[in-house]
Structure 1
């Protein structure tokens, strides 16, 4: 039963990733694109965790943690760039 739920959740996350990618490419403004990129990071993390549960492997959890850290830093950097046009002060 749990295996079926994981597979269904993987498909749902895949659809969410496609919608986030569509917003990233067609977003009307830069803040919309930053938010879409952040949502894509979160969806990627969820997909990796679900894929790790499906394969019963713990390496995907570590990859999800690395993507979470990089996603946070990337979002902060892009937001600072949009606000001040300078990343490092």
Structure 2
């Protein structure tokens, strides 16, 4: 029997985005999509270890891998103007 994926709630972001918050957003999106970490990693074209490091903010991950995971999971990252 397949393992049931418990959807994680959308995290609350207060202040600038950091690795831990981004990881929580990625995990919430993955689990709300009903994907296990192995299925999501295969879908995104990254190693399970890479996806795990993104979600837990442990260790270094290439920016291109982070952007690919976000894009494949339907997440949009934006940069705000710094001009006042």
Both proteins in one fold, TM over 0.5: no
TM-score interval (norm. to shorter): 0.3 to 0.5
Who wins on radius of gyration, i.e. which is larger? Answer: 1
Structure (1 or 2) with the greater helix fraction: 1
